[in-house]
Amino acid sequence: QITLKESGPTLVKPTQTLTLTCTFSGFSLNNSGVGVAWIRQPPGKALEWLALIYWNDNKRYSPSLGSRLTISKDTSKDQVVLSMTNMDPVDTATYFCAHVQAVAAYFDYWGQGTLVTVSS
């Protein structure tokens, strides 16, 4: 059974760096064809894909946020970490991580999400 869970701060100040961790089980990022993505959703708004990392360390980022994002994996801990620099109130959102298969590229398993508020 595949599960994912996001963790990190619920409140960050403007200009700070946000670091979120996705801890997963039921699959391994050592396995060929597997990936983990981050998606966010501002309150009352639509979903936005942010970043993706594959088993082979191939990484992809949303062009609109690319320079602010860094995604990494720790296969020994079954974790994926997303960092976002220079946080702004418009970055207030629920952040989800999700499982992706390279051959499929849709999100078949999701974490519950974590709400991050950016405020001074």
Partner 1 sequence: DIQMTQSPSTLSASVGDRVTLTCRASQSISSWLAWYQQKPGRAPKLLIYKASSLESGVPSRFSGSGSGTEFSLTISSLQPDDFATYYCQRYNSYPWTFGQGTKVEIK
> HSE-up of 93 (CA within 13 Å, CB side)?
21
Of the residues 32, 63, 76, 120, which one makes contact with partner 1 according to CB under 8 A: 63
SS3 label, residue 108? strand
Does position 104 bind partner 1 by CB under 8 A? yes
Q: Which of these segments, 8-16, 27-35, 47-55, 84-92, binds partner 1 (CB under 8 A)?
A: 47-55
Dmax of the chain from CA atoms? 43
Residues 6+ away with beta carbon under 8 Å from 103: 33
The burial of 79, by beta-carbon neighbours within 10 Å (0-12 exposed, 13-18 middle, 19 or more buried), is given as middle
Q: Which is nearer to partner 1, 106 or 120 (CB)?
A: 106
Does position 47 bind partner 1 by CB under 8 A? yes
Q: Which is nearer to partner 1, 11 or 47 (CB)?
A: 47
Tokens 């997963």 belong to 24
Does position 46 bind partner 1 by CB under 8 A? yes
Does position 49 bind partner 1 by CB under 8 A? yes
Q: Which residues bind partner 1 (CB under 8 A)?
A: 46-49, 60, 62-64, 96, 104-108, 110-113
